[in-house]
Structures are given as structure tokens and as C-alpha cells.
Chains A and B, each alone.
Chain A
Amino acid sequence: MPKLPSAKIDRRRRMPMKEQAPSERTKNFAEVALGYTGEEAMKEAQRCLQCDAPMCKEGCPVGIDIPKFVHETAEGRFDEALKTLKDTNNLPAICGRVCPQESQCEKKCILGMKWNPLAIGRLERFIADRDEAITSVDITTNGRKVAVVGSGPAGLTAAADLARMGYSVTIFEALHKPGGVLVYGIPEFRLPKAIVEKEVEYVKGLGVEIRLNSIIGKTITIDEIFAQGYEAVFVGSGAGLPTFMHIPGENLNGVYSANEFLTRVNLMKAFLFPEYDTPLKRGKSVAVVGGGNVAMDAARTAKRLGAEHVYLIYRRGEEEMPARREELEHAKEEGIEFKLLMNPTKIIGDDKRNVKAIECVCMELGPPDESGRRSPVCKEGSETTLDVDTVIIAIGTSPNPLIVKTTPGLKTGKHGVLEVEPYTFKTSREGVFAGGDIVSGAATVISAMGQAKEAARAIDEYIQNKDN
């Protein structure tokens, strides 16, 4: 067991985490943030005030007992800390990396009122990354079957929670690898795929079966799943349908949806072509359109593939960007060139229909809209052209309509999201529950997991009450 660090605790500043230098990391796909050492983690954990009424816990969508695991970490009892984490969170190595802690647990940390909030995400990540202490869970099976559609963050969470309640759970996944956006969307340099595999193995270790290459609505329908004796279905199929801009030139060679670009790189490993068979156009000058995390991921990926210029075109200003601050800063450090208050109007091609430029207009911010964000207004006669050979469109996604089209009785709302009851996540169809991006539209990993946890509880209640 490591010894307690003897140095005096400085509660003001958080322990910095080592990172690859920007000049180095833009040449590889290895993780940017390198994680804490045991000593660093203990020191950081000792900054925690162990509040009587901890606010941090309220900020966590899956309700981790943060003071407890932090206290265990501070004392070097890392195995116990892991057990505490896994009591409520099935995928801590992922959450510690990709959660927007600054707007969740860390936002509520009392230290943050005056100084830096406790680095809860980094501590979670440190504990989860320790291989030696895989916690085993005692499960009493109840012999009842539940199906989960999709193996993204929502599906994995619902499946793991239901398995721990004793259900026999089968996940149906359309792609050839489990993980959803964790494997095809978020790049290796933010979330190594080996980490995702390890977390998926943990879920499988709880007795969850994952059926790959199973497309709901095509390979099997939800009605057929019920006919096979499953008592409830949780739909966590996400929001994977890309939005295009519907501007001229969008079908030119070299124009990608961010989904296609990132799937080729992350899932198919096109960055290792020709050792891997999937090709990708490696642009010299790349325009990424959008201001969210997906846009940042696409831009930083393009840079790592050798682009000399990567322009990030966003129609509002930096303040309005929905991307996490940390991602935005990382992107800047890596030399991504921000083209703010600009909106593409046309993509221009050469005689072989390859992209050669993108035409944009300048924007200015008008009054705030219903959502409180200031809406951009076009400035007349402000057209400008950027010479690029690749365009990546990252302006959002919506739910894939395949499941709704093939399942009678499922009600949908705006942008094709599934309508569910609050708290229970029940859909309009008996026995079918849903959570994550298919319900909320494209949101965060952790909110999908939070919804899935609620839904798992509701599914348990539904099945228990069915007998009465």
C-alpha cells in the first residue's frame, strides 16, 4: 500500500496532469492526457473537504458516492475506491475521460467557489485505470430476459445494471464492434479503444451477451424480440443520422459527414491504411463546419492525418460554441485555425468533381433566440473563399429512423426522437423503454448513462409488477 504523501496540502490549486506536448501529439493518435500517478492522485484527493452535505454527488448524473471514493483514494485504498465507483458507475474509465465535469460534479464542488474545484474526473480515471483490481460482483440470476438495442453508453449501462439485478440481458448491436460513439465517434487520442474494450469486457463479465451485426428492423424486429421471450426492451440506439447543410457542392468528392470521417478513422482504423483496408482522403487543407465536440474531434483528427491547414468554420462566436472548453483549448494548441462568425454557402469543385474551395459569408450576432443563444445574421456582400480539398460537416445528428419505421406503436417527437414518460423512460409501446440520444437528441455520454440507469430501475419495476 502506498504511503500517505507528507507534503502540506495546498487546497487552492489542483494537481496538474501530464499531457503530451502539442508539437508531439499532433503526430500521433496516442492519448493526449497522460493521467495521474498514485502519489499525484492521493495528493489531489486530499484536497477534498469531505463535506457533510456533498454537492458534487448531486452534480453526477449517475450519482457516484464521490466523497467516499475520494476519501479511499486519499488514503491509498485504491481497490476499495474502485469498488465504490463501480457500485453506481459501470464505465468509470470512460466517464473519467469524456464527462464534461466542469458542468456537472466539479461545477458543484465547494472548493470551486474560491479556488480550483477538486479534479473528480481525473481521480475517477486514475482509479478505473488500475488493472489489478477488477471487482467481482455476486449476481443471483432470476431467469428473466431483457433485450437492449444498441451498445453505446446508454445500452451498456442499462445492460450492466439489469444484469446486476439478476436479469439475463442480450444486447443487439448493428456494427461489428460494441461501444457505439465510444468506438466510432470519440477519437483514440481522447479515449483509447483499449479502454473501451476493457470496460465492455467488464459488462460481459456480468453475464451480458452482445450480439453484433444485428440491425433492429432489418435482422430482427422488436416484435420478434418479444416473441423470443424477452419481457422488456430498452432502446438505446442513439442519434446517428448525420445532418447535411443542403448547400451546392455537398456531394463533391472530399466532402464527409463527421460521422463518416470519424467512423473510417476510429472504427475502421483508416489512419493505419494500408495495414488496415479502409481508405480515407487525407486532406492538405481541411474545413470542418460546426462548433461542438464532434467538430473538435474531426478537426484534431484531420491535423493528425497530416493536414497543413485545418479551418474550423462556425457561424457564431467562440463564447457560443457548444464544445467543451478543454477540447477547444486543445484544438487551439494544436494549431486548428478558427474561422468564427462564418457560414458556408457553397462548396466548389474542380473538373474531376474534387473539392477545391469553400465559399462562406460572414455573420454577425443578432438578438438571443428562444434557447438564449444569439442567432447569427448574414452580412450582405461579405462572401469569402477558403482554398480547401476536404470538407467535414459536423453540424449535428438526429436519431436513425430505422427502428421507428419497423416498430408499430412507437411515438416520436421533434427531429425523430422517441417520446418517453418522464422518470420511467417508458415509450408509447408496452414493455419498450428508451434512453440516451434517441430520447434527448445528440447529448453527452454521461446523460445517456444517467437516463439508462433510471430506465433500468423502471424496467425492473415493470417486470416485477407484471406478475401481480
Chain B
Amino acid sequence: MHRIVRKIELASGTTLFEVEAPDVARKARPGQFVIVRIDDAGERIPLTIADYDGGKGTVTLVALSIGKTTTMLSRLEEGDSILDLAGPLGNPAEMIENGTVVCIGGGLGIAPIYPIARELKAKGNKVISIIGARTASLLFWEEKMRAVSDELHIVTDDGTAGRKGFAVHPLMDLINAGVKLDRVMIIGSAIMMKVTAEATRPHGVKTIVSLNPIMVDGTGMCGSCRVTVGGKVKFACVDGPEFDGHQVDFDELMARLRMYMDQEKLALEKYTHQIEGVPACLSSHPQK
């Protein structure tokens, strides 16, 4: 059991949990993730590590309530426990030294890009960060990101905070202004990573993306998280989650992410009715 020692609502539907997990905290590196299971009937979901404190024995996870499991998670309070937490999984983010790096965090991706930006900064890089969200109420950690960045750009789709537009816009301005970039690191939605990687491709800027496919075990035994990279099948949980964004088949990734959409909707509906005390309406139930 892993006790929640701190819970903070960072933005609308976005919750931070600092969780006791001494073994994981001791080994965690930026870019890695954990698999959590809340209770005995629960599913296993991957969450990227947003921070860790080996001394205190805690890891920080940030989750956005989008389905049943993340909604259940958001309702846990300080002192409550998560049943299973396995990790740290995946490869740590590949680091470079004394270069210029653009770190892009989109929505929930702001959380896991933070420790990567912090480490890149500590390794003597010039760190230019771009954080973005659909709207202002979904943004968080502007000050934290500013503290580890030489430059910080904020964008929202609707212009309610920072510049109106997408992360790709300030990135293109940098490229067009002739700033020499050694690397771009992106964590965000699949479509955002696709669009941004497409934009850097003609300029030959190495672009690393952190992929978010569906996972079950997270240790390489099932292939649920398989992605095509450079024409080869890779398991994101053990070969990634970071890959060269110019080699990833994003259309395939996005299709695979939609695989259980109907069931995910059903599970959330049933849970919402349950917590609101309304009898479950199963009219949209697929064949059992």
C-alpha cells in the first residue's frame, strides 16, 4: 500500500499526488513512469513521474481526470492509499550537456517535462520551455517551469493565457529566428506531438517525443503498448517511452489509443452514476 502524503489540485481536473514509494523514489530518473492500480477491481494505468524525493521516499504523480480510474484517483485524499505502484519503468530521458534544448509540455505533459527541464538545466544546457493547454484553467506550474528555464513561453488554444495558439508557434518562431537548437523534447497529447514533430522535420532538429500508448503490465510482457518507430515494432514500456518523433507512426498510435473508447465511456458512466447515487443506466452497454 502506498499512502498519499500530499494532494493538490493544480488545475481544473488536474491533481497532484505525493505518494510514499521508497523503492521507486530511490531509483527514479526523469522521463520514467510507474504503473498504478488503485484497488482490487482496478485496472493498471501508467503515470509519468513528475518528481521524486529519494530521501523522503516519495514520488510525485499528476493525473488528469478523464476516465473512471483517474476520476477515482482524484477522489482519494491525503492519508488514503493506492494499492499497487510499480516502477520506475521505461528508460530515463536521454540527457545532453551544454546545448540548447526546447522543452515542450502540453496539458498534463507539463508535469513530466518539469524534471527533464530541471536536469537539462543542471547539465549546463540553455533551456527554452514552452508550456501550453487548451485554456487558462488547465495551465499549471508556470513558476516552477520558469525557475528551471532560461526562457518560458506560454500558449493556450483559446488565448485565455499567454499567446493564443499551439506550442508549435513559439517553436517555429525560434527556428525561423535562426536560434540553433540541439534538441526538442515534447510530452503531450499524441496529436500535439505529431504536429510539433512534423514542424521540426524539415529543419532537421532532433525531436524526442514521450509516447503514451495503452499499457497493461509495463514490463515488456504483452505488447499492448507497441508502436511503429522507423518501420520497426517497439514496446513503448521497455524500448521507450521516448522515441525519435520523426520516426514514429502517430496515426497508428492515435488509432490504438481509441481502441477501448466505448468501454472507457461505459465504465465512467457507471461509476459517475454510482458516486452520484443514481441507478446505473446501462442502455449503451455493448453485448456482455
- State whether A251 touches B87 (Cβ < 8 A): no
B87: chain A residues at CB < 8 Å are 215, 218-219
- State whether A353 touches B255 (Cβ < 8 A): yes
B89: chain A residues at CB < 8 Å are 215, 218
> Which of A188-196, A201-209, A270-278, A425-433 binds B?
A270-278
Interface residues of B in 168-208 (CB under 8 A from A): none
- State whether A219 touches B263 (Cβ < 8 A): no
Of A219, A257, A306, the contact of B23 (CB 8 Å cutoff): A219
Of A253, A264, A275, the contact of B216 (CB 8 Å cutoff): A264
A279: chain B residues at CB < 8 Å are 43, 260, 263-264, 267
Task: Report A213 CB to chain B, min CB distance, Å.
Answer: 4
- State whether B252 touches A251 (Cβ < 8 A): yes
Given contacts A251-B233, A277-B42, contact A240 B267 (CB under 8 A): no
- State whether B233 touches A213 (Cβ < 8 A): no
- State whether B44 touches A268 (Cβ < 8 A): yes
The yes or no answer to B224 lying at the interface (CB within 8 A) is yes
A212 to B44, CA, bound (A): 14
> Which of A9-17, A63-71, A140-148, A241-249 binds B?
A241-249
Of A176, A276, A280, A401, the contact of B84 (CB 8 Å cutoff): A176
- State whether B233 touches A176 (Cβ < 8 A): no
The yes or no answer to B108 lying at the interface (CB within 8 A) is no
Interface residues of A in 386-424 (CB under 8 A from B): 400-402
Given contacts A251-B252, A277-B267, A279-B267, contact A242 B223 (CB under 8 A): yes
Interface of A is mostly: loop
Task: Report B42 CB to chain A, min CB distance, Å.
Answer: 5
Interface of B is mostly: mixed
Task: Report A301 CB to chain B, min CB distance, Å.
Answer: 15
The yes or no answer to B119 lying at the interface (CB within 8 A) is no
The yes or no answer to A89 lying at the interface (CB within 8 A) is no
- State whether A259 touches B222 (Cβ < 8 A): yes
- State whether B41 touches A212 (Cβ < 8 A): no
| B interface residues, tally (CB under 8 Å) | 44
Given contacts A260-B224, A277-B41, A281-B259, contact A215 B219 (CB under 8 A): yes
- State whether A213 touches B86 (Cβ < 8 A): yes
Of A213, A219, A257, A277, the contact of B68 (CB 8 Å cutoff): A277
- State whether B219 touches A257 (Cβ < 8 A): no
- State whether B83 touches A176 (Cβ < 8 A): yes
Closest to B255 in A: A353
The yes or no answer to A250 lying at the interface (CB within 8 A) is yes
Interface flags for A111-146 (1: CB within 8 Å of B; 0: not) read: 000000000000000000000000000000000000
A277: chain B residues at CB < 8 Å are 41-43, 68-69, 267
- State whether B287 touches A306 (Cβ < 8 A): yes
| A interface residues, tally (CB under 8 Å) | 43
A176 to B87, CA, bound (A): 12
The yes or no answer to A174 lying at the interface (CB within 8 A) is yes
The yes or no answer to A263 lying at the interface (CB within 8 A) is yes
Task: Report B242 CB to chain A, min CB distance, Å.
Answer: 16
Closest to B224 in A: A260
* Interface-central residue, A214, A220, A273, A400, by most chain B CB under 10 Å: A273
A282 to B262, CA, bound (A): 12
Task: Report B160 CB to chain A, min CB distance, Å.
Answer: 34
The yes or no answer to B50 lying at the interface (CB within 8 A) is no
The yes or no answer to A175 lying at the interface (CB within 8 A) is yes
A279 to B286, CA, bound (A): 12
B27: chain A residues at CB < 8 Å are 218-220
The yes or no answer to B85 lying at the interface (CB within 8 A) is yes
Task: Report B19 CB to chain A, min CB distance, Å.
Answer: 13
* Interface-central residue, B219, B264, B287, B288, by most chain A CB under 10 Å: B219
A250 to B8, CA, bound (A): 42
- State whether B267 touches A244 (Cβ < 8 A): no
The yes or no answer to A466 lying at the interface (CB within 8 A) is no
B227: chain A residues at CB < 8 Å are 251
A176: chain B residues at CB < 8 Å are 37, 44, 83-84, 86
Of A219, A282, A401, the contact of B86 (CB 8 Å cutoff): A219
- State whether A175 touches B217 (Cβ < 8 A): yes
- State whether A263 touches B267 (Cβ < 8 A): no
A259 to B228, CA, bound (A): 19
Closest to B264 in A: A279
The yes or no answer to A3 lying at the interface (CB within 8 A) is no
B24: chain A residues at CB < 8 Å are 219
Of B44, B68, B223, B264, the contact of A244 (CB 8 Å cutoff): B223
The yes or no answer to B11 lying at the interface (CB within 8 A) is no
Interface residues of B in 118-173 (CB under 8 A from A): none
A175 to B69, CA, bound (A): 19
The yes or no answer to A352 lying at the interface (CB within 8 A) is yes
A-to-B contact residues, CB < 8 Å: 174-176, 212-215, 218-220, 240-242, 244, 246, 250-251, 253-254, 256-257, 259-260, 263-264, 268-269, 273-282, 306, 352-353, 400-402
A sample of 26 cross-chain residue pairs with beta-carbon separation below 8 angstroms, ordered by A number, consists of A174-B219, A176-B84, A213-B84, A215-B89, A215-B219, A218-B27, A219-B23, A219-B24, A219-B88, A244-B226, A251-B226, A254-B259, A257-B223, A260-B224, A263-B221, A263-B222, A268-B44, A273-B263, A279-B263, A280-B263, A281-B260, A306-B287, A353-B255, A400-B219, A401-B220, A402-B220
Top 7 closest pairs, chain A to chain B, by CB: A279-B263, A260-B222, A277-B43, A240-B221, A213-B86, A353-B255, A278-B43
Known A215-B89, A277-B42; 19 more pairs at CB < 8 Å? A176-B44, A218-B87, A219-B86, A242-B222, A242-B223, A244-B233, A259-B223, A264-B216, A268-B216, A273-B263, A273-B267, A274-B266, A274-B270, A278-B44, A279-B260, A306-B287, A353-B252, A400-B219, A400-B220
